[in-house]
Structure 1
Amino acid sequence: MVKQKWQDVYSKNKEKLFIPLIIAVLFLSAYVLLIQVTKPESYQAKLFSVSEKTIRSPQTVVDTKKTAEEKRKASEEIEDVYVFNRETAENQVAFMQSIFDYIDEVRTETASAEKKAKKEADENNAAAPKKITDASKLASFKSKLVGDHAGNITENVSDATFINLLNASQTDLKAIQDQVITEVEETMESRIRETNLNTKKVQARDDIELSQMPSRYKTTAKSLVTNAIIPNETVDAEQTKARKKEAAENVVPEKILQGQVIVQEGQIIDRETYRQLDLLNLINQKMPIKQYAGYAFLILALFLLLYFYTKKRKYPPKKRQQTMLIFTSVYVTTLVFLLVIRFLESANLMNIAFIFPAAFMPIILKILLNERYAFFGVIVVGVTSLFIFESDTTSIMNVLMVAFILLSGLTGVVALKDYSRRIMIFQTGLIVGAMNVIYAILLLAINNSILFSLNALQVIFYAFIGGIGSFMLGLALIPLFETMFGLLTTSRLIELANPNHPLLKKILMKAPGTYHHSMMVANLAESCADEIGANSLLVRVGCFYHDIGKTLRPPFFVENQLHGINPHDRLTPKQSRDIILAHTKDGADILKENHMPQPIIDIARMHHGTTVLKYFYFKEKEANPEILESEFRYSGPKPPTKEIAIINIADSVEAAVRSCEMPTKEKISTIIDGIIRERILDGQFTECDISLKEIEIIRETLKRTLNGIYHQRIQYPDDSKGETK
């Protein structure tokens, strides 16, 4: 009753309540634990009071305020770096040249148009045509201007200037062009910044004023030149920043050295002295803000790593949330153990840290999640312990303790193989305890400690107890975690494997062929799971229920068809497709209605992945060549776990071999090779962590098992009946 109530609350509120709760518990628990690290001695010093004792710096720290001030001064002394851009000058000269080219084009077009109009008037004895207006010529000229420069020059240069150029004689226009181009080219060759831009423009206008150009065109030329001259030397922000940064980095940091006298006994604590004491955290037992922030970011970093790693696994949202909840809950439990050990250390229990159950979190994660999360858990515990056991006086032992925790955790992950039986978990605990003893001796030797002493024996004893304790705690708490999160336990799987289960009876009564097929697939898949170290019990039970969706329409599946009657003969390929493809969804719905565990539901829904229903696809393609293959694929998703991948292969192999007439060793091998090759090429195993080596083991296991089932029998004559044995 309590279990169901907990699971109902979890199902309804996990998104709104549990994920924020995970974050809150994780941060609060880690904070309570990590801030207990040894603090420096504090003094009740007050500003402008007389120091009652000589205060020295307990450590070497950088005086950030003074250092920052020196860096700022050094950076400000560096002037901006300017870069001369020769292309700017070339572009401006080219643009001025293009303006005069456009003037020539308009003048030529105007003369040609007027000449043509006059000729037509003479031929028709008409009145002489009007000359093309300045406005028309100006419009034609502006239409030829394109780009950003065009907008600038038409805004900054008056229309009268362009009309003067359009109406100038060829000789005058040539003189203006030569003077303008020369002046722009010569001026832009010099370095021009925003600070001296106006000076350069005034010099250019003075040069034009003193030139031999007709005076009536000097204003026009000045206008063009003034617009053409722009800065060609700009601040290089990157180089300037780099030089300022280099100057700042070359500043030697101002430091308060360890042992340095901050204030002598009897001296007045002035503002500078008080600031230094505050910097060293020697006032009012205050821990610096940056240390609080550091712990916050440490925990945040661990949580984000967990989040993105879980997201990368491409789990469904429900599975992802459950995974994160399990991991963080186990982590918080581990933090509690660390806090207890730290408390015992403060009670002067020497070497008690070695009793810490370092393998607890990894083995719990391996059993409840998978091996990858277990290794991730080893790293998380190791990083956390680095701060938990931190001590200024025992820094070497701190390093040894972290090394011991990492080694013990890794050993727990590697040593734990078969965790379907509780006794195997306990036996693994003995192995880890023995290895902990070896690690403790090695670390003591590295630390040059006396191996034959009471202290060393104490370390060895605690290490052994810690190894066994990890697994004893695991045995005690695994059922609690399984109950809290509705996980599929070994006992629950054994219960579901009982042939008297109502759903198995339903399959047997409504679809006996499917029942027999499921039993055969279970045998094959279980053998494969055993060989590659997957959860064989889950595979077997999952196979029992994987085709339960066929009980809704048994005759439409070949194993349930009797007397050669096939109802698909009366249906179109698309109708047949809909019925066949629906059995995965129907099966998942039936299992969900009967409150079956999620892994069993996932097997029923995903065991075909996104494979193609080839028979009906090709049958439909004969009538409709345009039909898409995707329309005849199972909805998936692709198998996300090794267990479902094994069932995916074994299900198809069993059906194919069963439908084969007189299966021989060669035929069986060909069928298995073909199905596996087809699955790999179709990308059916891209979402799970099964390796090619494991697939090869599955291939050989299927061949060996099926050859044992379908071995060729030798016929013996029976004198009385002639029967074959």
Structure 2
Amino acid sequence: MGKETQPAEKSFAKRKRQGSFIDKWLWVRDFLAKKMVRERILVFVSFLAIVGILQIDLVPRAIDVKLGEIYIGTEIRAPRTVINTEKTEELMDQAAARAVEENKDKLEYQTISIEAGVEANNRYNRIIGVFEEYRRLMQEQTPEGVSPDPARIRPEFRRALQREEGRFTEVPDETLDLVLTLPATDYERIVRSLRQVYVALETERKIGPQTMEEVRSELGAFVGNERFLVLPQDQPVIRELLTAMIFPNLTRDEAKIRQLQEEARRKVAPVKIEKGQLILSEGDIVTTEHIQILRELALIDNSGNRVLMFFSLGIFTLFLMAICLIYIYFFEKRILKEEQHLYLLALVSVVVLAVAKAFSLLNLDLMAYLVPLSFASIILVFLSEPKLAWVITALLSLMVGVIFDFHLALTVFYFINGTAALYLMLNLNQRKEMIRRGLYLAGINFFTVLTLSFLFGIKRFSSMFLFALVAGFNGILATALANGFLPFFEHLFGLTSPLSLLELANPNMPLLKRLLIEAPGTYHHSILVGNLAEAAADAIGADSLLVRVGAYYHDVGKLRRPYFFVENQITNDNPHENLAPSLSTLIITSHVRDGVELAKSYGVPRVVTDIIEQHHGTDLIRYFYQQASEKVQEEKESVEETDFSYSGPKPQTKEAALVMLADAVEAAARSMGQPSPARLEALVNQILKERLEAGQLDETNLTLRDLDKIKAAFLKVLGGIFHHRIKYPEIVATERKKSNGGNHQPRNNGTKAEQRDA
């Protein structure tokens, strides 16, 4: 009994595990089925991929070296160009010191000392003290009634002054004698004036070895200045005394000296360690300079550098991705609804960055100009929005510059390259034209690199020319790659380029050819609808090419039952006359579903099948609804409008709405007996009003102003289609009968009730 229950328990446990696994799988599937979840996962994975690509080899592996030891190992070369900060700083210090030494004695780098006034007062007091002492001695040695004789004490007086001021040896004897013998009143007046002039001179005039003689020669004018109020008879004495008393009052102007040093430091060219330069080879003794260079290159002690660099790259990438997502949210919100666009942006960006990183690892300068960034620009112009393509181009240019050692010139080049590719590929209408514009892009790249080489200081012309040639080849290569990969991306992401739309518009396409042969009336109707819709699209700024192609294919579903549609009925036999209105409605409405199925089977892209599916919206088939209503009135029953309406959906875009309106206008105008401008305008007004009031345009972003422009465009085209024709004279008609052998018989089919499928 126990042996029988054991396998049953194992089987139950196995089924339980399988059920648990299935539940988990279903939960994951349901979780990933949410569009918002997939978009967030895409952003996160793209972020990790970009950061991972950027950080590859940006911080190389650490090298184990020790100061003073002999290096053993493979030679070490600089992985990128960096500045030798220690050597550069040393040269800057030398330049600053040399500049100070050369200019320290120049007057412009000197200023009057803030202590000059105090020093002048001190010197004045000491000299006046000597004056007072010897004037008193003179009075003591001169008896009353005897004239003083200064000659007796003049030598001693001069020596005393000379001890205070060495230049008193040059003062004339007459001046010294005058100081000793002046009356007290005159003496006091002179020394007061001397003090005023002396302090002013030392605090206002720059006095140094190079200006001393100049100042002495100008003392007369300075003393005679009106502001000092020195008497004319006192001026010579004061001037002679000042000649001996003045002293240098200059000191270094530290602010100007610092400015001089900074200018000298700025003029020093930084000492660069060029990429590939040999740093250490086997057998070299490791010096302080080696250690410093290796530290600058983050080749030693770089564990912290790795973490910091990874964190910085993460923030940098986050900022750039935020710029892109914010732009999409505010200016291209439609792309958020079309998930495939986001996948395209992520794939193209990651591919370009991966190629750039691979080229950078080759350590060849030429490869830096071969990154096919313009390939991304061209692909995005064709399959996404041109404005968004330009934003992506700018962001990728910044990242490529980071990959190539933060190379600003490369960033500028790739921005110009991508922008030029974007503008050149706009409004392209033939694949062979892409090659010619690729040659234009090559020329732009060539001259851009030459210009940037001059700006960023590449001296050798041979290198400039070689880089420019590689950049020119880049333009041709990127264009060829875009041309080759464009169909692949279209198929992978379900997107459609203008080139594919142009191919679809070719009448020799299988589906259009079938329409021409099997349903010629519908084909002719589609051509006219295309003319109307394209004119309206041009008027409101919609995609006119998509509108025209959508109009060509909008009624391909009528190929299943062409003779049930009035434009393909050659005879007067109308099959709907023998059918119930409900069955006729089913046949008419089925051409939308049949058209979508046919288009998909022929590989028509989704943007066109969407127009096929939406070109009738949920519109009511009024002809059969009215027939059914008349019948049920007799039987006292009711008819639901939904049973005689298209299943939808309503138009979701301007382009689908234009095809809807053009389809209705063309069919109604064709059924009009005698069209005139007034009647056509009334008809267009009525159709636009009906579709607007029925809510068929609610899910598009058409405005009332757009509807006015659409109406004007429709009337202009209709005026060309239904213009007045010249009536041939009867004689011409008679001659025609004769030329046909009299066999031509006019046939009058009468009027036919129009079962419009609008």
TM-score range, shorter chain: 0.5 to 0.7
1:658 aligns with 2:670: yes
8 Å CA contact 1:513, 1:560 repeated in 2: yes
CA pair 557-308 structure 1, distance change in 2 beyond 3 A: farther
Q: What do the CA deviations read for 1:261-316 (whole angstroms, capped 9, x no partner)?
A: xxxx999xxxxxxxxx9xx9952555544543554566567668777887996779
In structure 1, what is the equivalent of residue 731 of structure 2? 719
CA pair 309-661 structure 1, distance change in 2 beyond 3 A: farther
Q: What do the CA deviations read for 1:481-533 (whole angstroms, capped 9, x no partner)?
A: 34545655757974785558368537854x55434322332454456668889
How many corresponding residue pairs? 483
Per-residue deviation at 1:35? Answer: 0.5
8 Å CA contact 1:360, 1:473 repeated in 2: yes
Per-residue deviation at 1:657? Answer: 1.9
Structure 2: state its 5+ residue gaps. Answer: 1-31, 71-82, 87-285, 289-294, 738-758
1:35 aligns with 2:55: yes
8 Å CA contact 1:497, 1:544 repeated in 2: no
1:426 aligns with 2:435: yes
Normalized against structure 1, the TM-score is what?
0.52
1:707 aligns with 2:715: no
8 Å CA contact 1:613, 1:634 repeated in 2: no
8 Å CA contact 2:522, 2:568 repeated in 1: yes
In structure 1, what is the equivalent of residue 659 of structure 2? 647
In structure 2, what is the equivalent of residue 357 of structure 1? 372
What letter is aligned with 1:644?
A: A
Q: What do the CA deviations read for 1:158-200 (whole angstroms, capped 9, x no partner)?
A: xxxxxxxxxxxxxxxxxxxxxxxxxxxxxxxxxxxxxxxxxxx
1:399 aligns with 2:414: no
8 Å CA contact 1:507, 1:515 repeated in 2: yes
What letter is aligned with 1:30?
A: I
Summarize the alignment of residues 54-453 of structure 1 with structure 2, pairs less than 5 Å apart: 283=301, 285=303, 287-289=305-307, 291-296=309-314, 320-344=338-362, 346-347=363-364, 349=365, 352-391=367-406, 398-437=407-446, 439-440=448-449, 443=452, 447=456, 453=461
Distance (whole Å) between structure 1 residues aligned to residue 373 and residue 600 of structure 2: 38
Q: Equivalent of 1:603, from 611, 626, 636?
A: 611
1:475 aligns with 2:495: no
What letter is aligned with 1:514?
A: T
Q: Equivalent of 1:559, from 557, 567, 584?
A: 567
8 Å CA contact 2:616, 2:646 repeated in 1: no
Tell me which moved more, 452-461 or 361-370. 452-461
Q: Larger radius of gyration, structure 1 or 2?
A: 2
Per-residue deviation at 1:602? Answer: 1.8
What letter is aligned with 1:402?
A: T
CA pair 690-613 structure 1, distance change in 2 beyond 3 A: same
What letter is aligned with 1:707?
A: G
Q: What do the CA deviations read for 1:656-697 (whole angstroms, capped 9, x no partner)?
A: 221222223444455456656776787867767889998887
What letter is aligned with 2:648?
A: S
Q: What do the CA deviations read for 1:314-335 (whole angstroms, capped 9, x no partner)?
A: 7799x83433333322223212
1:591 aligns with 2:599: yes
In structure 2, what is the equivalent of residue 113 of structure 1? none
CA pair 429-708 structure 1, distance change in 2 beyond 3 A: same
Distance (whole Å) between structure 2 residues aligned to residue 633 and residue 483 of structure 1: 30
CA pair 694-434 structure 1, distance change in 2 beyond 3 A: farther
Q: Equivalent of 1:464, from 463, 472, 497?
A: 472
Distance (whole Å) between structure 2 residues aligned to residue 310 and residue 329 of structure 1: 17
Per-residue deviation at 1:361? Answer: 0.6
8 Å CA contact 1:556, 1:568 repeated in 2: no
8 Å CA contact 2:533, 2:662 repeated in 1: yes
Distance (whole Å) between structure 2 residues aligned to residue 305 and residue 568 of structure 1: 63
8 Å CA contact 1:606, 1:639 repeated in 2: yes
8 Å CA contact 2:438, 2:479 repeated in 1: yes
CA pair 364-532 structure 1, distance change in 2 beyond 3 A: farther
CA pair 680-405 structure 1, distance change in 2 beyond 3 A: farther
Q: What do the CA deviations read for 1:617-651 (whole angstroms, capped 9, x no partner)?
A: 899999899988999575224243x6534433432
8 Å CA contact 2:380, 2:386 repeated in 1: yes
CA pair 473-491 structure 1, distance change in 2 beyond 3 A: same
Distance (whole Å) between structure 2 residues aligned to residue 555 and residue 620 of structure 1: 22
What letter is aligned with 2:349?
A: Y
What letter is aligned with 2:721?
A: I
Normalized against structure 2, the TM-score is what?
0.50
Distance (whole Å) between structure 2 residues aligned to residue 473 and residue 427 of structure 1: 14
Distance (whole Å) between structure 2 residues aligned to residue 407 and residue 499 of structure 1: 40
8 Å CA contact 1:44, 1:284 repeated in 2: no
Distance (whole Å) between structure 2 residues aligned to residue 685 and residue 58 of structure 1: 68
Kindly, what percent of the aligned residue pairs are identical? 28
Per-residue deviation at 1:372? Answer: 4.1
Per-residue deviation at 1:607? Answer: 2.3
Per-residue deviation at 1:541? Answer: 4.6
8 Å CA contact 1:40, 1:282 repeated in 2: no
In structure 1, what is the equivalent of residue 649 of structure 2? 636
Task: Name the SS of the counterpart of 2:733 in structure 1.
Answer: coil
What letter is aligned with 2:672?
A: C
Per-residue deviation at 1:542? Answer: 3.6
8 Å CA contact 2:449, 2:471 repeated in 1: yes
Task: Name the SS of the counterpart of 2:338 in structure 1.
Answer: helix
Task: Name the SS of the counterpart of 1:356 in structure 2.
Answer: coil
Per-residue deviation at 1:366? Answer: 1.6
Tell me which moved more, 600-609 or 715-724. 715-724
